[in-house]
Amino acid sequence: MCGIVGYTGGHQAAPILLDGLSRLEYRGYDSAGLAVRNGESLAEVVKATGKLYHLADKTDQGRSLIGTCGIGHTRWATHGDPSVTNAHPHVSGNCTGSGSGAVESDVVGVHNGIIENFAELKEKLLHHGYQFYSDTDTEVVVKLVDYYYKKYKIGPIDAITRTMVRVRGSYALALMFRDYPGEIFAARKDSPLIIGTADEAAYLASDVPAILKYTRQVYYIDNLQAARIAPGSVKFYDLNGDEVSLPLTEITWDAAAAEKGGYEHFMLKEIHEQPTAVRDTLNSLVKDGQIDLSATGLTDDVIGSLTQVDIVACGSAWHVGMAAQYVIEDLVKLPVRVELASEFRYRSIPMPGNTLVIVISQSGETADSLAALRVAKERGATTLAVVNVVGSTIAREADHVLYTLAGPEIAVATTKAYSAQLAALDVLAVQMAFLRGTVSGDQYTHLLEELATIPDKIRRVLEDKERLQWFSSKIVNAHDIFFIGRGLDYAISLEGSLKMKEISYIHSEAYAAGELKHGTISLIENNTLVIGVLTQSQLFEKTVSNMVECKSRGAYLMGITTNGNFAVEDSVNFTVYVPRTDEHFVSSLAVIPLQLLAYYTSVNRGLDVDKPRNLAKSVTVE
């Protein structure tokens, strides 16, 4: 949530900042602002509410802000309503926050996260003569930095580290000091922040796409660290103010991967990138017909000694965990528990010895998942991170890391990251089963051969998208949609329902089909759309029976099944077929029509597909 961009170098900063902010729009925001310094002159601050183009228009696409050092921000309101006054950047001076003009201020800053003790800190600062113009916690932290800077007559790094010790909560901070023209200072705790250098310039951002156009050499600033950024150089400091070194990471993503590439929306592009994302992820784990997990650090001994697997995640990643639960339990014969990270972190869950906790997160920065990872480690579990971003916090803190190779995902509604995670967990399940002796060598070979066919089969499903585009036009005015299935089909239904509700704004729910008669069927009315997922042969007839019950009460039925199950057409109104594969892996195919249906329904309703209201790509605050 929220986006930070910073630049210092030889070029005009404002156009670069606006470009970077435009690449972070997927994170969600309600206002935006820039602060730019021109040498030793005062900082020029411009802020606007609404979409980023309002800020661009206000600054003549950045051309009216002169200066080669600046910071920018897109805000998602937490403390204080969306307004120009509450928009970032904030200043240490007692200005009005009117949103435009030069400011007499020693410190200017932007902030992602939440300062939990801001009210207490604000009271302290009021006693010391500070005045406040906004309702934000960010203004409080900027003025606290200013307070320490002036009271103790210390440098920016020392003022920032004193502030870090004093505040509670999560934050990524970027600050400019009047006495240090051409430099940006930064700090982080639990909110992502990266810093890159190139050609006598330096860049700061809360996510890679913002600066990928300018540099591939980045540092991932660690938790409770500060940074001093000058053109072409960066230094890092711990809480004691001592300089520390961090490794330089090269971003291998193709810069074009963060562009639409001719597609109308990022989501549609990313749906079509799923064959590549799945193939790349599989190829990174399966080599010469054998699974190789050596890069994860998971040894055969660790896998062989496991007594339980816990999967912890949020949103779509949790749905991946739900699907993986069925696959691991069936293949590996180990008990698996799937937990929402936001619940796991607050529960006293018994954790027997040799428990593997798998934390799934596309960004590797999800606040609840990161907290759950830390809880699992405190309880003595072995932890495995399944993440898409190299060097992310969850990747760094987990005992073992399994990277997915989905590339940058820009649309808020995940598609290719979900599919890459699903493939990674399927490979892990097969290897665990083989090492623990619950599948034979022949079964192992068969399962790997089936996995290898998934990318091409996804491509075949995508070729049938016109039928789903047509069907979406028929359901565009639906008020309620119910997704039902059993076993793995229930896990797919959960993801299908989430996709539909988050981008089309149509109320949808997913239910285990067997639970319909325990209350849910009372919601069925004439023409209520019920989508049944029917890919599990042993459960096929039972789910069809549940769908027919809904039809008898006036429901309109859509079924998703595998090729050959043509009898389903006798019971439903509209059928979608996916290629046959081993039923453990069919989730990777059945989810594709549900993604496409949600996408086309959102388009037909004239909505912002890539940036649905009230949602953010990375949830980095609790």
- Joined tokens for residue 514: 């067997």
Confidence of residue 408 (pLDDT cuts 50, 70, 90): confident
Whether residue 191 is predicted with pLDDT greater than 80 in this model: the reply is yes
Whether residue 337 is predicted with pLDDT greater than 80 in this model: the reply is yes
Confidence of residue 622 (pLDDT cuts 50, 70, 90): low
Percent with pLDDT over 90 in the chain: 74
Q: Are 379 and 407 in contact (CB under 8 A)?
A: no
Confidence of residue 618 (pLDDT cuts 50, 70, 90): low
Query: What does the pLDDT read at residue 298?
Result: 95
Q: Of the residues 2, 69, 314, 550, which is catalytic?
A: 2
CATH fold for domain 266-462: Rossmann fold (3.40.50)
* More confident site: 325 or 220: 325
Looking at the chain, the domain(s) classified CATH 3.60.20.10 span 3-251
Any long-range contacts for 242-250 (C-beta under 8 Å, 24+ apart)? 246/219, 246/220, 246/221, 246/222, 247/219, 248/217, 248/218, 248/219, 249/217, 249/218, 249/219, 249/220, 249/390, 249/391, 250/216, 250/217, 250/218
Which CATH number applies to 465-604: 3.30.2320.30, 3.40.50.10490, 3.40.50.300, 3.40.50.261? 3.40.50.10490
Q: What does the pLDDT look like over 347-395, one tens digit per residue?
A: 888 888 899 999 999 989 888 999 999 999 999 999 999 999 888 889 9
Q: What does the pLDDT look like over 589-614, one tens digit per residue?
A: 999 999 999 999 999 999 999 888 87
Whether residue 180 is predicted with pLDDT greater than 80 in this model: the reply is yes
- Residues 453-473 as b/e (b if ≥16 CB within 10 A, e otherwise) read ebbebbbebbeebeebeebbe
**Over residues 244-273, mean pLDDT:** 84
**Over residues 56-65, mean pLDDT:** 92
**Over residues 165-181, mean pLDDT:** 94
Q: Of the residues 47, 122, 499, 617, which is catalytic?
A: 617
What's the mean pLDDT when you consider all of the chain? 92
**Exposed, middle or buried: residue 481 (CB in 10 Å: 0-12, 13-18, 19+)?**
buried
Whether residue 617 is predicted with pLDDT greater than 70 in this model: the reply is no
Whether residue 40 is predicted with pLDDT greater than 80 in this model: the reply is no
* More confident site: 204 or 613: 204
Helix ranges (H only) for 508-617 are 540-551, 587-604
Question: Three-state SS across 307-358?
Answer: CEEEEEECHHHHHHHHHHHHHHHHHHCCCEEEEEHHHHCCCCCCCCCCEEEE
Query: What does the pLDDT read at residue 256?
Result: 65
Q: What does the pLDDT look like over 499-547, one tens digit per residue?
A: 999 999 999 999 998 887 787 787 788 889 999 999 998 998 898 888 8
Helix ranges (H only) for 75-205 are 118-127, 137-151, 156-166
Looking at the chain, the domain(s) classified CATH 3.40.50.10490 span 266-462, 465-604
Q: What does the pLDDT look like over 17-35, one tens digit per residue?
A: 999 999 888 777 889 999 9
CATH fold for domain 3-251: Glutamine Phosphoribosylpyrophosphate, subunit 1, domain 1 (3.60.20)
Q: What does the pLDDT look like over 100-153, one tens digit per residue?
A: 677 778 999 999 988 999 999 999 999 999 999 999 999 999 999 999 999 999
**Exposed, middle or buried: residue 123 (CB in 10 Å: 0-12, 13-18, 19+)?**
exposed
Confidence of residue 301 (pLDDT cuts 50, 70, 90): very high
- Joined tokens for residue 586: 């069919």
How many CB atoms are closer than 10 A to CB 246?
Answer: 16
Q: What are phi and psi for residue 17, nearest 5 degrees? A: -65, -45
Whether residue 203 is predicted with pLDDT greater than 70 in this model: the reply is yes
Judged by DSSP in three states, 378 sits in helix
In whole angstroms, what is the distance from residue 590 CA to residue 569 CA?
A: 17
Known catalytic residue: 617? yes
Query: What does the pLDDT read at residue 620?
Result: 55
Type and span of the H or E element at 444: helix 441-462
Tell me the β-bridge partners of 340. Answer: 313
| pTM listed for this prediction | 0.80
Whether residue 255 is predicted with pLDDT greater than 90 in this model: the reply is no
Query: What does the pLDDT read at residue 354?
Result: 94
Q: DSSP letters along 15-56, please?
A: HHHHHHHHTTGGG--SEEEEEEE-TTSPEEEEEEESSHHHHH
* More confident site: 212 or 461: 461
Instruction: Give the CA distances from residue 599 to residues 407, 413, 589, in Å, rounded to whole numbers and listed in that order.
Output: 20, 9, 16
